[in-house]
Amino acid sequence: LWLIFFTLDSLKIDRICEKYVFVTGCDSGFGHLLCRKLDKHGFRVLAGCLTETGADDLKRVTGPYLKTCILDVTSTASIQKALEWTQEEVGDKGLWGIVNNAGRSLPMGPSEWMRIEDFQSTLRTNLIGVIETTMNFLPIVKKARGRIVNIASVLGRVGVNGGGYCISKSGVESFSDCLRRDIQCFGIKVCIIEPGFFKTQMTSLQPLEKELHHIKIQRVIMNAICDSDLSRVTNCMEHALTAAHPRTRYSPGWDAKLLWIPLSYMPSCVVDVGLRLVMPRPAKSI
């Protein structure tokens, strides 16, 4: 069985140089690195960046076939404009892959500290943005019988912090599962990436400490569990786009495999005790 799985897992698609992939959130982090890898492999990369600076930085380190557009996934008008631009680029070939990578982690903290606007801002980016972008781009992905790769998180399995982040990533998991079952008859594959903790702008300690400045142990925890090798995540994204038989779920990171995923299968009382040890809560409200 292992030999069969390994063989199927290693089979690759052909004619990569003819395939277009659209990636959101390419200013930095996973999206930026993924675009560089896909460009090097010969994909026609269409990168959605939030800022002109991010787009310029990406174009400086990639080849002539990578193209960028400005995309704010919280704006319906911006998504529509990006779709029209993409349709012009791909023509009748359709879009082989869309990678919903854009996201945010803050505001984050104990739930009673959060305002309703804090939840809404994160959900608008991480969940509604993913859904709206996917549903708008679905017809051109359908044309190519391509791939939809959604970036969730292990915190979509285990709710750790208050705020909208864990809620939004749990929603991405559910949306992706429902979508996969709905459209698999059209030959479209939907893959979920569930990274553990990695050192990106989303896990940068400075903004986290502003949100949680009273929890001194936060720095120790984040330094201990955050992996600096972002290629572990982008390798999974790349496999989801290039494998003939992509996996339904990828869980890059040692903490994902050894801590968060096993914890997600435990009884709730065990999870509660474990999280109190790993992620201590403040003693009182302020």
Of residues 209 and 261, the one with the higher pLDDT is 261
Element (H, E) at 231: helix 231-242
Q: Are 166 and 210 in contact (CB under 8 A)?
A: no
Of residues 217 and 260, the one with the higher pLDDT is 260
Of residues 284 and 132, the one with the higher pLDDT is 132
Q: Supply the pTM of this predicted model.
A: 0.86
**Percent of the chain topping pLDDT 70:** 86
Q: Are 203 and 105 in contact (CB under 8 A)?
A: yes
Tell me which of 30-34, 264-268, 282-286 is least confident: 282-286
pLDDT at 166: 94
The active-site residue out of 20, 65, 165, 265 is 165
- Tell whether the model's pLDDT for residue 224 goes beyond 80: no
Q: Are 172 and 152 in contact (CB under 8 A)?
A: yes
pLDDT at 253: 81
Tell me the pLDDT tens digit for each residue of 86-139: 999 999 999 999 999 999 988 888 888 899 999 999 999 999 999 999 999 999
Q: Are 30 and 105 in contact (CB under 8 A)?
A: no
Report the pLDDT averaged over residues 47-76.
96
The residues, ordered by sequence, that sit 6+ positions from 119 with a Cβ below 8 Å of its Cβ are: 163, 164, 167
- Tell whether the model's pLDDT for residue 8 goes beyond 80: yes
65 is catalytic: no
- Tell whether the model's pLDDT for residue 204 goes beyond 60: no
